[in-house]
Structure 1
Amino acid sequence: MTSLSIKANQYWSFSTESYKGLEVGSFIQDVTGSYWHIISKTDTSNGYQGYAVVNRSEFYKVRDDITAGRLKKAKYENVVIMSRGTEPTKFDGDLSTDISYVVVGKNTKVKSNQFSDAEAFYKDVSQTFQPSKVYVTGHSLGGAISQFLSAEYNLEGVTYAAPNVYRILSPEAKKRVDNGYMDRLMTDYTHDGEQIGVFSQWGAPLIGKQYIATGSGHGLQNFGSHFDSSGSVKLKISPEDIQMLGNRIKNVAVNIDTPAGALEAYREAEEKAVRKMIRQATDELYGGKYSLLDENDIDNAMAEIAKNKTGGMYRFHDEPMLDTLIQDLQRKRRDLLEFGEDVGYAGYKMKEKDAELGAILAKELNATIHSGNSAGQATGSALGKLGSDAWMKTK
């Protein structure tokens, strides 16, 4: 199987095209110049519009194979499903879907809706064309639907300003989100401060990864000018943010001292308690209630009820496990402190480079201004001399 390497700006193109009312058999062209063929579409009474597209080269290859008799019907390796986002004029479908399933988190299995329609479309495309891999994309509500399909069916994709729909996922899909599996499949890009793309259903876990892009606003067009030359989204980040993150990581490292210290304190407290218990039992050997026993009997009794004996001391816990846990915590503390230092240093260097660049620009600007002033003075002198010469000639 040959997988596609789809860039973020190509996914953006697909999401943009999904708003245009495309027809099966037509072509679209993405921002990289690549062509894609519409092989299937759906437009349901609930308001869902979805399209399945394949790369032009694969479309032509399959068409030639059918013509030559090598294939009986179309079968594609890679298919992209793009789902249209909210159209505010569609009060019967889009807005009711936004409120019921995105905001409220209503069960998608209760009645037919855009999410169940998207599932049906995905299953139909999979059965009809038998793709080896399906990719999903969309913006806003279309992004939410794409994330839903991604989590339910392990599909790779990129979305734009997609609100979180974790609460309507099946238990199996939620597990994939909770254990971090979706981080490798789904990526969403949104803008800082916009209310839809950052909506998380009141703190529900994100489906995959989400990044804050440069730019502002919810509209898909607001992402168009924020891709770099490689097709990746330009992310919004500052040196101060990086330094703050480094400090937070170091704070986490310092907080590891608390559980590690508690384990050490437990071990010390247990040692004191065991010594006290043995001492009290030994005192009872001589004329006390344990006068018929000797110290070997006490030792045997302790050996029977203790977990193990290390360093001449009976332990009522798994000492090797406790020791390993403490060492692991201490090692994690060191690693996090070093990582926090590295992250903070990266932020410092970024800030330093910004300052250097600012100094260079200021120097160049001052030089330009100085050059302009000098040129102005020279021009003024020349004009003055020219005027003086002209005046002398009139005399």
Structure 2
Amino acid sequence: MVGFTDEEYFNLSDRVYNNDVLENEKPIGLKDGSQWRVIEYVDKSGSGLQAIAVVPAKDYQKGKTNYDNVIFVSRGSEPNKSQFVKDWIHTDFLKLGIGFKPPIDKGVQANYGENLKKIADISSKVSLPGMGLAQLPSWYINTDNQFVNYQTFVNQTIKKFNIQDYSFTGHSLGGALSQYMAVQTHKKSVTYAAANPFRLLSKEQQQAVKNGDFNGLIFDYRHRLDPVGKIVPNGVPIGQQFIMDTNPNAKMGTFVFMGHMRGTFTGMFHGDGSAQLKVSPDAVIQQANRIDYVVEVMQKVQQRMEDLEEVARQKSRQLRQRLEDDTIEGAQFSELTSWDVDDALTEKNVHYRNGVYEFHDADKFDKFYTSNERNIQKLLGFQRELIQAAKAMREKDNTLGDWITANTN
């Protein structure tokens, strides 16, 4: 599969919010300079689903029915009046929040859809005081489902264009649609601030998520304080999540909910198109250098313990010498011999090494020294790897950034 950058995936996720892309053969130019063509789109008035299938412009050919690499891009929740109930209440709250699974929804639609529509149509025409949002249009009564509609759209598009490989992307609700389809098809998904569709998955798929089967396949970039994706009860993150840095020019972008907005991701990519994570290469190097302090403390602790051992050995030698001095003729213990002194010390000591009686467990001290030195080497090795990786990232970013600048003028 041809690799696309995180930036390309995001810019497509951002661009799909514009209605002008909902047109077959529509050319799309992104902020990163890449060019695309829409080969198929869906705009479902019932469920509120909007999505497109795109290919790189260089691969597009009018009338072509065979594509090697396609990206499916799904739109997220919209705040406008016409989409609010469909996206935020019907899909975000009822489908994702409550966990009304697409197969069940599809069955309700097939068996009871027409009758439910009639009931909803009647209720929408009757004015009842205090009902408020309870009086919703017919499509609200479980007759359409964005996840069902999206799966149908994807399957039909794959068949129509004989697509060999494909991936998914989207923001917010669009990210949930992307992840849901990635699980169904075991294809790559790159999302931004995705809502969590975990509760919509089958039990077998949920277990696969818990087992980490989608790590390395599904990637979600989000901001640290963004609550979306965490509010679903018993939701387990699908695949891997990464915390991106926030666009400093985004209005109120550091506020909790505003960190969910698309503008907070705009422009936050390295020269090679990879996501600019919260921790920069320079910050990684700075933190890695703090390992020197940790190592210094570990070495000082060991040195202090070695010094204490040496003091204990000196005191042992002095004690033995005093006791032996007290055994000479006319001394306090003249009736004893040096052999008696050795016997008494042997009874009380733990070890006798190199002519010294030791009253502490030196073996345990030695084990600690060995373990401590091994951990110090591991830390230093980890530090070297961190610094090398950060420098490589920075060097690659600068090199590719220079190349892009030189070739886009």
Measured against the shorter chain, the TM-score band is 0.5 to 0.7
Matches within 5 A, 1:298-313: none
Cα deviation, 1:325-383, whole Å, max 9, x if unaligned, reads xxxxxxxx99x968973587469979xx9xxxxxxxxxxxxxxxxxxxxxxxxxxxxxx
C-alpha displacement of 1:99: 0.3
Question: Could you tell me which of 105, 109, 114 is aligned with 2:146?
Answer: 114
The one-letter code sitting in structure 1 at the alignment partner of 2:7 is N
Q: TM-score, normalised by structure 2?
A: 0.56
Contact 2:193–2:221 under 8 Å retained in 1: yes
Matches within 5 A, 1:3-14: 3-14=1-12
Aligned position for 2:266: 224
Matched, 1:182 2:182: no
Matched, 1:103 2:97: yes
For residues 102 and 54 of structure 1, the distance between their equivalents in structure 2, rounded to whole angstroms, comes to 29
Question: Could you tell me which of 237, 240, 262 is aligned with 1:206?
Answer: 237
For residues 376 and 211 of structure 2, the distance between their equivalents in structure 1, rounded to whole angstroms, comes to 26
Aligned position for 1:16: 14
Matches within 5 A, 1:25-44: 25-44=25-44
Q: CA separation of 1:147/1:55 partners in 2, compared to 1, >3 Å: closer, same or farther?
A: same
SS of match in other structure, 1:188: strand
Q: CA separation of 1:54/1:347 partners in 2, compared to 1, >3 Å: closer, same or farther?
A: closer
Contact 2:195–2:228 under 8 Å retained in 1: yes
Aligned position for 1:85: 76
For residues 194 and 162 of structure 1, the distance between their equivalents in structure 2, rounded to whole angstroms, comes to 10
78-87 vs 233-242, greater mean Cα deviation: 233-242
Q: CA separation of 1:91/1:57 partners in 2, compared to 1, >3 Å: closer, same or farther?
A: same
C-alpha displacement of 1:137: 0.4
Cα deviation, 1:155-211, whole Å, max 9, x if unaligned, reads 1121000022212112342243222221121111000112114x1634532111100
For residues 265 and 237 of structure 2, the distance between their equivalents in structure 1, rounded to whole angstroms, comes to 21
SS of match in other structure, 2:104: coil
For residues 383 and 231 of structure 2, the distance between their equivalents in structure 1, rounded to whole angstroms, comes to 32
Cα deviation, 1:300-336, whole Å, max 9, x if unaligned, reads xxxxxxxxxxxxxxxxxxxxxxxxxxxxxxxxx99x9
Matches within 5 A, 1:1-395: 3-21=1-19, 22=21, 23-44=23-44, 45-60=46-61, 63=62, 74-89=65-80, 90-95=83-88, 96-111=90-105, 112-197=144-229, 199=230, 201-215=232-246, 216=254, 217-237=259-279, 341=379, 345=383
Q: Please identify runs of 4+ aligned residues in structure 1 that moved more than 3 A.
A: 238-244, 336-340, 342-350
Q: CA separation of 1:346/1:39 partners in 2, compared to 1, >3 Å: closer, same or farther?
A: same
Contact 2:97–2:233 under 8 Å retained in 1: no
For residues 150 and 339 of structure 1, the distance between their equivalents in structure 2, rounded to whole angstroms, comes to 42
For residues 87 and 161 of structure 2, the distance between their equivalents in structure 1, rounded to whole angstroms, comes to 28
39-48 vs 340-349, greater mean Cα deviation: 340-349
**Matched positions, count:** 250
Contact 2:94–2:100 under 8 Å retained in 1: yes
SS of match in other structure, 2:71: strand
The one-letter code sitting in structure 2 at the alignment partner of 1:17 is R
Q: CA separation of 1:347/1:106 partners in 2, compared to 1, >3 Å: closer, same or farther?
A: farther
Contact 1:9–1:31 under 8 Å retained in 2: no
Aligned position for 2:349: none
* Identical residues among aligned pairs (%): 30
The one-letter code sitting in structure 2 at the alignment partner of 1:234 is Q
Cα deviation, 1:224-281, whole Å, max 9, x if unaligned, reads 121111111111135598789xx9xxxxxxxxxxxxxxxxxxxxxxxxxxxxxxxxxx
SS of match in other structure, 2:214: helix
C-alpha displacement of 1:30: 2.3
For residues 18 and 31 of structure 1, the distance between their equivalents in structure 2, rounded to whole angstroms, comes to 13
Q: CA separation of 1:148/1:338 partners in 2, compared to 1, >3 Å: closer, same or farther?
A: farther
Cα deviation, 1:109-153, whole Å, max 9, x if unaligned, reads 222311111111111111111111111000000001101111111
C-alpha displacement of 1:52: 0.6
For residues 206 and 343 of structure 1, the distance between their equivalents in structure 2, rounded to whole angstroms, comes to 31
SS of match in other structure, 1:181: coil
Q: TM-score, normalised by structure 1?
A: 0.57
Q: CA separation of 1:343/1:38 partners in 2, compared to 1, >3 Å: closer, same or farther?
A: farther
For residues 174 and 193 of structure 1, the distance between their equivalents in structure 2, rounded to whole angstroms, comes to 25
Contact 1:18–1:51 under 8 Å retained in 2: yes
CA RMSD of aligned residues (A): 3.0
Q: CA separation of 1:347/1:57 partners in 2, compared to 1, >3 Å: closer, same or farther?
A: closer
Q: Structure 2: state its 5+ residue gaps.
A: 106-143, 247-253, 295-370, 392-409
For residues 46 and 167 of structure 1, the distance between their equivalents in structure 2, rounded to whole angstroms, comes to 19
Contact 2:77–2:84 under 8 Å retained in 1: no
Contact 1:14–1:30 under 8 Å retained in 2: yes
